[in-house]
Amino acid sequence: MPSGRTEWTRVALVTAVALVYFAAARFGLGFAVVAEQVTVVWPPSGIALAALLVLGSRAWPGVWLGALAANALAHEGAGTALAIATGNTVEALAGAWLLRRVRFHESLDRVWDVMGLLGLAAGLSTTVAATVGATSLCLSGIQPWSAFGSLWFVWWLGDAMGILLLSPALLIWGSRPYVRWSRHRAFEAIALGGCVFAITAASFGGRLAQLTGSHLSYLVFPLLIWAAVRFGQRGAAPAILIVTGIAVAFTVRGRGPFGDTSTGHPLMMLQVFLAVAALTALVLGAAIAERDTAERRRMAHYAVARVMALSATLEEAAPQILKAICDCLEWDVGALWVVEAGGQEMRCREAWHRPELRVPEFMAVTRQVRFAPGQGLPGRVWQSGEPAWISDLAHDANFPRAQVARREGLHSAFGFPISLGNEVLGLTEFFSREIRRPDEALLQLFAIVGSQIGQFIDRKRSEAAARLSAEELRQASEAKDQFLALLGHELRNPLAPIRNALEILSAGQADPAVATQMHEMMQRQTAHMVRLVDDLLDVSRITRGKIELRRERVDLGAAVERVVDTVRPLLDDRGHHLRLSLPPEPIVLEADPTRLEQILSNLVNNAAKYTPGSGTIDFAVAREGTQAVIRVRDNGIGIRPEMLGRIFELFAQADRLPERVQEGLGIGLTLVRSLAQLHGGTVTVASGGPGRGSEFVVRLPCLPPQAPPGPPVAKAPAAAPRAQRRRVLVVDDNADSAESLAILLQMQGHDVRMAYDGPSALATAREHHPELVLLDIGLPAGMDGYELAQRLRPEAGLERAVIVAVTGYGQEEDRRRAADAGFDGHLVKPVDMQKLWRLLAAL
Ligand code: ADP
């Protein structure tokens, strides 16, 4: 429903058209020939067509009223005036409709448009008014039927001339072109106008004839060509108008080359002359405009391609692309948008405007605003993936920036998508101060430019990603080197005291107390090394998702006590005070006991490591609803706030005690977190900062209070049980390994043989008939442990022998492979003696 304001605007518009039409009609009828109502100069037809094309068909009542009023004063009956007015209106409506059907440009910037104006509007639509007008004059008896032919022709010619001579100027200037005047251009325009005026007046006013003996009327041609070549249609159309005005004014006074009445209808001859002149200028203007446009498009395309070839990043290319397109295609403002926020909205990445233009508000809004799909010009292009054109921003319902644009004088806009295949990555939009009709050829060109920019963005993104991954690779390699250095260091740490102890013991003079001390020390260091290696293997397994929990019911309190037993030596060594707090009721978890203890011992170990001597460590376990909550708090060195978020990352290490050398590989907490998560739990850390202690809290799901725990985990017997004397074969290519293991077994009273490769092991086994074979997997002489096991099994006397793999490969798949090869068990080096004694006891 139109608002009151729009209604008033329309009434004002219609009235203005009616008045202008009426005035032009009165003026035109002043040159009536043949009949009072028929004239060879009929400017209203040009006015009517331009009004309907520029203002839209809604302006037709203005044409009708103007024509009615003019005809009513031309001594006709009311019926005839009505018929003629209607004929004139239908003519204009038909002309406008026909031109719109052929996508006519009001700017007449193609030869096609000039031909359309000539053929469809001037030539064809005018037959309506001529036929209606001549018929009604004859019907009403105002004119005799014998004059019908000449009436019709003069009518038609007058209307056609009105359209051809007058409408181009009205159309071109009515579409509000924005002319970029430079000083010398303005000077040239004034000079051209002056020449056109002076020479036409001199020729048609008869002055030239007086001077030279000839009217030299063809001199207007070079002037019109000048106008068309230098100023395009914007120059040609007004020049035609000036020539027409002056020529008609003198000719009706009987002056100039066509003023001689003895040659028939002077004005008619003048019309033919003017038609030829106008067509020459308009066709030339259009051809030049077409060539210019093609040249500008080619330049724009080339400039964009060049910018993309020379730019390293989109940030560098974007302003240059916008400037190149604005410069080449005469747009005033350009902006480049990209899809951001994970594909949720579009944001302006770059905006550019002509330096001489003042559009601060529009630029600020454009840089600030965000658009969702479908919203505003960017959103529209994004949603459809198609270019969009807005001829007049003020009349567009979906352009949120319209008000600001209008305030700052921007009228037309077009946007084209930056696409990669079917995906829209962004768009560029351009604005101009003049009203521009959609330009199909431009849109087609920019579909290609858009996909080229899309490929550019994609290429730059891939390059950035490649750079990033190269950087990541470099960092990873650096981290690997650091890690290897750390690992070497960590393994050397326990080796040094072990070697020292060996020296002391080999000297043979150590008293028993020192020897015991050395033994304990070596055991501790070996245990530390074993744990390091175990942790390393665990981490790789967990990060590859290759770990399986062996869940059973576990009493958390009992697990805590076992952990405390194992960390006790370290706590005592550093003089820490441990405050243990266990719940009165047992807390039962469905957990893997080994892994649970690994979580707890890592945390308590860390608390002991990262607390200066004689610290206090609180180890508390409680139930909170369905969760078991384990807190390990220390009053040690604490953790800097910026490290808190990274502390659980693999190889992350924060501060350490200044007096201590490197301890650990930065994998303990990664294991803690992964294992807690595997159990469906979490681990968090808090610290007041450096020097203010740390607290680690593990939350694990637990069973309801009544759930009974599983059978207690048997504690390993402290000393080796005396087993029955067994025949044992130890096979290992590392002679030291084989011999030390053999001595240990012999010390327990077993009958032990050794072999260092597969064939000799087979031979020894045939003769010795071992009950237990401890077999290394990696063996020389072309027969590995797997093959040896397979060949031992069928030997006579070995059917019941227990064959156990003793290997450095402790992973799940190694165990499976050993089982497949016929091994009865699997021990990881260094062999846990308790396990070995249990094995022998069970034979
Ligand atoms: P690491 O082998 O270095 O101990 P972790 O993964 O167990 O590796 O711990 C990672 C880092 O977290 C440690 O290097 C240490 O800087 C910090 N950290 C761990 N526990 C504590 C704690 N209780 N107090 C202070 N810092 C700690």
- Ligand 1 proximity of 91 Cβ (cutoff 6 Å): no
What pLDDT is attached to residue 285? 93
Between CA 469 and CA 587 the distance in angstroms is 47
The dihedrals phi and psi of 415, each to the nearest 5 degrees, come to -130, 145
- Ligand 1 proximity of 639 Cβ (cutoff 6 Å): yes
Q: How confident is the model at residue 102 (pLDDT cuts 50, 70, 90)?
A: very high
- Ligand 1 proximity of 607 Cβ (cutoff 6 Å): yes
What pLDDT is attached to residue 239? 95
What's the pLDDT tens digit per position in 110-150? 999 999 999 999 999 999 999 998 998 898 888 899 989 98
CA of residue 545 to ligand 1 center, whole Å = 23
- Report, as an integer, the average pLDDT of 699-722: 66
Amino acid letter, residue 622: A
CA of residue 665 to ligand 1 center, whole Å = 9
CA of residue 547 to ligand 1 center, whole Å = 23
Mutate to test the pocket of ligand 1, among 669, 694, 697 (most ligand atoms within 8 A of CB): 669
CA of residue 497 to ligand 1 center, whole Å = 24
Between CA 365 and CA 405 the distance in angstroms is 10
Token pair listed for 588: 């039962």
What pLDDT is attached to residue 256? 85
Ligand 1 atom, smallest distance to 693 CA: 24
What pLDDT is attached to residue 715? 45
- What Å distances lie between residue 283 and 47, 133, 237, CA to CA? 21, 31, 11
- Ligand 1 proximity of 333 Cβ (cutoff 6 Å): no
CB-neighbour burial class of residue 445 (10 A; exposed 0-12, middle 13-18, buried 19+): middle
CA of residue 654 to ligand 1 center, whole Å = 6
The dihedrals phi and psi of 118, each to the nearest 5 degrees, come to -70, -50
Decide if 700 contacts 680 (C-beta within 8 A).
Answer: yes
Q: Give the CA diameter of the chain.
A: 153
Question: Looking at per-residue confidence, does 698 or 75 come out higher?
Answer: 698
Ligand 1 atom, smallest distance to 654 CA: 16
Between CA 109 and CA 112 the distance in angstroms is 8
Between CA 731 and CA 784 the distance in angstroms is 11
Within 8 A by CB and 6+ apart from 782, the residues are 758
Decide if 78 contacts 27 (C-beta within 8 A).
Answer: no
End-to-end CA distance of the chain: 100
Specify the residue with its C-alpha closest to ligand 1, atom 23: 607
CA of residue 577 to ligand 1 center, whole Å = 19
CA of residue 673 to ligand 1 center, whole Å = 13
CA of residue 498 to ligand 1 center, whole Å = 26
Annotate 741-774 with three-state secondary structure.
HHHHHHHCCCEEEEECCHHHHHHHHHHHCCCEEE
- Ligand 1 proximity of 821 Cβ (cutoff 6 Å): no
Is 70 exceeded by the pLDDT of residue 32?
A: no
Decide if 166 contacts 241 (C-beta within 8 A).
Answer: yes
In the beta sheet, which residues pair with residue 753? 729
Between CA 142 and CA 36 the distance in angstroms is 10
Percent of the residues in the chain that have a pLDDT greater than 70, as a whole number:
92
- The sign of the torsion formed by the CA atoms of 177, 182, 183, 188 equals negative
What's the pLDDT tens digit per position in 49-95? 999 998 888 899 999 999 999 888 876 678 888 999 999 999 999 99
Specify the residue with its C-alpha closest to ligand 1, atom 8: 666
What pLDDT is attached to residue 1? 42
In the beta sheet, which residues pair with residue 627? 624, 701
What's the pLDDT tens digit per position in 769-790? 999 999 988 888 788 888 999 8
- Ligand 1 proximity of 637 Cβ (cutoff 6 Å): yes
Between CA 250 and CA 85 the distance in angstroms is 29
Neighbour tally for 2: CB within 10 Å: 9
Is 70 exceeded by the pLDDT of residue 3?
A: no
Within 8 A by CB and 6+ apart from 155, the residues are 38, 42, 129, 130, 133, 134
Decide if 590 contacts 552 (C-beta within 8 A).
Answer: yes
Ligand 1 atom, smallest distance to 634 CA: 23
Decide if 728 contacts 748 (C-beta within 8 A).
Answer: no
Token pair listed for 210: 């007086």
What pLDDT is attached to residue 343? 81
- For 56, half-sphere exposure in the C-beta direction (CA atoms, 13 angstrom radius) is 3
Between CA 437 and CA 421 the distance in angstroms is 28
What's the pLDDT tens digit per position in 622-663? 999 999 999 999 999 999 998 888 898 877 777 666 555 446
Neighbour tally for 283: CB within 10 Å: 17
Percent of the residues in the chain that have a pLDDT greater than 90, as a whole number:
48
- Ligand 1 proximity of 238 Cβ (cutoff 6 Å): no
Spatial CA neighbour of 390 closest among 382, 398, 793: 398
CA of residue 462 to ligand 1 center, whole Å = 38
Q: How confident is the model at residue 688 (pLDDT cuts 50, 70, 90)?
A: very high
Decide if 88 contacts 63 (C-beta within 8 A).
Answer: yes
Specify the residue with its C-alpha closest to ligand 1, atom 17: 654
Q: Give the position of tokens 């579009």.
A: 346
Mutate to test the pocket of ligand 1, among 532, 648, 653 (most ligand atoms within 8 A of CB): 653
Ligand 1 atom, smallest distance to 606 CA: 20
In the beta sheet, which residues pair with residue 552? 591
Spatial CA neighbour of 560 closest among 475, 643, 626, 621: 621
What long-range pairs does 306-313 form, CB within 8 A, spacing at least 24? 308/452, 308/453, 308/456, 312/460, 313/460
